[in-house]
Amino acid sequence: MRFVTAMIVAAVAGLATAKMPPPTPDAKAASAEAAAKAAWADKVGLYQLCQSQDRTADAYRKGLKVEGKAAPPPTAVPPCVDPGAYVAQAQPTPASSKPLEASGAHSPAGTATSPPSTSKPQAETSKTPKP
């Protein structure tokens, strides 16, 4: 029984140490977008927490005034900063999907942030001669 258990553990350990293939550019872009969204969500959470703390402190001071007690002076803190709406990051178009500018094709939206791949017509850049 110990031998069977040892064999199972060895097989699982071998699978656990297998090397993963490198991520594709699309996977990297998706990962970067998810990280940016998570960072924005953290900023929104901190903004909401700041507003909640301000409301709680104001309610505490008002409660003390109603009871006739002296409220302590407010502590100087930076104002709450609204992160605004989420804006997706512009991704440049990969070189493989860029059309040749000389071909007269319309460029995809991403090419405005990166230069075209070439200015030669496709017939001149093609490696196979025309029949």
Q: Does 115 reside within a domain? A: no
Q: Does 84 reside within a domain? A: no
The structure tokens listed for 81 are 């900063």
**Cα–Cα distance measured from residue 18 to residue 15, given in angstroms and rounded to the nearest whole number:** 5
**Residue range(s) defining the domain that contains residue 39:** 35-63
User: What's the pTM?
Assistant: 0.54
**Cα–Cα distance measured from residue 129 to residue 64, given in angstroms and rounded to the nearest whole number:** 89
**Closest listed residue to residue 29, CA positions, set 106, 94, 116, 97:** 94
**How many independent structural domains does the chain possess?**
1
pLDDT digits (tens, 9 = 90+) for 96-127: 555 555 555 565 555 455 555 566 666 666 66
Q: Does 39 reside within a domain? A: yes
Q: Does 110 reside within a domain? A: no
Q: Does 44 reside within a domain? A: yes
**Cα–Cα distance measured from residue 103 to residue 115, given in angstroms and rounded to the nearest whole number:** 15
pLDDT digits (tens, 9 = 90+) for 33-90: 999 999 999 999 999 999 999 999 999 999 999 999 998 888 898 999 999 998 887 6
